Amino acid sequence: MYKGIPASPGIVIGQAYVINKKSAEITKRAVAPELIEAEIQRLRKAVEKTKIDIMSIKEKVIYDIGNSEADIFNAYLMLLEDRMFAGKSETIIKTESVNAEYALMQVLKEYAEFFNKISDSYLKERGRDISGLVEKIIKNLAELKTKDSDAPAEKYIVVAHDLTPADTAEMDKGKVMGFVTEVGGATSHTAIVARSLEIPAVVGVRDITGTLNTGDVLILDGEKGIVAVNPGAKVMNAYKEEQKKYTLKLRMLKRLKTLEAVTVDKHKVELNANIEFPEEIGAVIENNADGVGLFRTEFIYMNKMNLPSEEEQFESYKTVISKMGGKSVTIRTMDIGGDKFLPYFKIMPEQNPFLGLRAIRLSLANQNIFRLQLRAILRASAFGKAKIMFPMISVIEEIEEAKKILEEVKFELKSKKVPFDEHIKVGTMIEVPSAVLMSAEIARHVDFFSIGTNDLIQYTVAVDRGNEAVSHLYDGLNPAVLRSIKMTVDSAHRNGIKVSVCGEMAGQPYLAFLLIGLGVDELSGNAASLLSVKKMVRSIKFQSALETADAALKMEKASEIKNFLTGRVNQLLYETEKGA
């Protein structure tokens, strides 16, 4: 039984699919004489598998870019077939009676030393071509250790050290029942994706990939953060019972689907959903969201070997906009950089990527890519109600420049008589302290604000939420964060514009209660959280939320606010339940 951080609710029982194991240190292992031949076979199989991997990448590149770019893959294939390369490793396995990984590393070391002796820095780089290939083989060797190197045919629970956005994008989402990762917190990429796909997930389960194998039976409890491995009949039955209860609870929530999100004293809160893949729109409609409050467009860029064309982007946006049938879809322009990279788009390595060339900064520095995206969004806007949102605005000039480019693109479309929504609303994300402090001025330039609480917390408290050593400081209830939200809301309302919160805070009922009290007009969370937030909204008085937020704003510590808030929420829910 493993304990981790509950990241997305629900209980599933199914077999594990262990992927991208943590790349462990290569250790030297003695291999018994009678197993030498098997070890050599293992190496050969891994090399074969690597060849197949490379061939499929090559085909993808030929398809996406063209023949000339695929040459390097031919070179890799030839290298894999080279006698000196694989042959040397096999000799080391035989003569030293060692494991394949170690033998390969010896070969690599030999070449690395050779290339390192050379002063010409360019030739030194040649060593890297080879080490990249060795890494691929070692990864395949690791997989050959598990019972099954490929995904099971049935549905499965993905178990991984970490899931990058690219990993998730490549997944067969129809087959994934749940996620378990070794790293990450409740606001990690995996957690966000799991919640929006309504798939149970547990993150932060240390060292689980080391002991699990593909095919092991797992019980995953996304609400308690528990993962049970190959459980006995007793545990299994208990969980099947829990699963029934959970389904029942879900069914109760579903009854709220068609009801409005209004407080007892008739204050309306708009409840929207965040999405990153067009295929999530099903869950959005299923939970009857008022609109899409945040359509993250990065994934259209990330799941690729090259830049998506205007047509491809247009199709994705159009699909979402048309499926929402008149409900608004807020499309955020690409938020690349920070921890999100593109394989085909080189971003210079930075000391502090989160303080570097990311989001709107990257778009303004690469205007051709930006214009292409704006054109695709504008064209799609003819098929429903779209809004455009710029991420990570930190100075007024950025919003001015972005809007100027948008006007130019509009003009271009107009002159070509391409239809689009000429009155499309434009907003900005408020997620850095400078934008909060300048929110009154920024509000005059835009039609709406959306507060990205994930980044706002990170930048306000100066904490990297992925860094375990400081992640305890990452807290949405930090008084500085609450005061920033309040300031943003006041600036917006004074200028007659609305404020939405699209960070993870919006999806947690008791935090949503506080946000409503701070005056936030719209909440946008993952589709799965909508109904529980709606249940909360319908159980409280707006007046109580205002009073609670007022009191919280006067407090000095996050812990103090947390105790106060949970106490208030429990009391209010108890009162309404008693009254009902």
Partner 1 sequence: MEYSKKVKVINKLGFHLRAVAVFVKESEKYKSLIKVKNGDVEADGKSIMGLMTLIAAQGMEIEIKAEGQDAKEAVSKLVKVIENRFGEKE
The answer to whether the beta carbons of residues 453 and 505 sit under 8 Å apart is yes
Which phi-psi region, left, alpha or beta, contains residue 417 (left: φ > 0; alpha: ψ -120 to 50)? left
Task: Point out the catalytic residue in the list 423, 445, 472, 502.
Answer: 502
| φ/ψ of residue 186, rounded to 5 | -65, -20
The residue with tokens 């035989």 is: 94
Minimum CB separation from partner 1 for residue 107, in Å? 9
The answer to whether the beta carbons of residues 388 and 424 sit under 8 Å apart is yes
Q: Verify whether residue 445 is a known catalytic residue.
A: no
The residue with tokens 């002063």 is: 119
The residue with tokens 């929504």 is: 421
Minimum CB separation from partner 1 for residue 342, in Å? 23
Structure tokens at 538: 């319908």
Minimum CB separation from partner 1 for residue 475, in Å? 49
> How far are the Cα atoms of 11, 208, 224, 416 from residue 236, in angstroms, in the given order?
12, 20, 16, 63
In the complex with partner 1, which residue's Cβ is closer, 32 or 122? 122
Minimum CB separation from partner 1 for residue 50, in Å? 15
Give the amino acid at 156.
Answer: Y
Give the amino acid at 396.
Answer: I
Cα–Cα distance, 157 to 176 (Å, whole number) = 6
Question: DSSP code of 469?
Answer: T
Nearest to 445 by CA among 494, 409, 396: 396
The CA dihedral of 104, 107, 113, 119, to the nearest 10 degrees, is: -100
Minimum CB separation from partner 1 for residue 504, in Å? 44
| Binding-site ranges for partner 1 (CB under 8 A) | 71-72, 74-76, 78-79, 82-85, 111, 114-115, 118, 120, 122-123, 125-126, 129-130
Cα–Cα distance, 5 to 202 (Å, whole number) = 6
In the complex with partner 1, which residue's Cβ is closer, 54 or 536? 54
Count each helix (H run) and each strand (E run) in the chain, helices first: 23, 16
* 3-state SS class at 452: coil
Minimum CB separation from partner 1 for residue 127, in Å? 9
Q: Verify whether residue 267 is a known catalytic residue.
A: no
Task: Point out the catalytic residue in the list 189, 423, 472, 493.
Answer: 189
In the complex with partner 1, which residue's Cβ is closer, 77 or 480? 77
Cα–Cα distance, 357 to 336 (Å, whole number) = 9
Minimum CB separation from partner 1 for residue 5, in Å? 43
> How far are the Cα atoms of 178, 209, 212, 275, 338 from residue 230, in angstroms, in the given order?
16, 15, 10, 34, 39
In the complex with partner 1, which residue's Cβ is closer, 70 or 169? 70
Enzyme catalytic residues: 189, 502
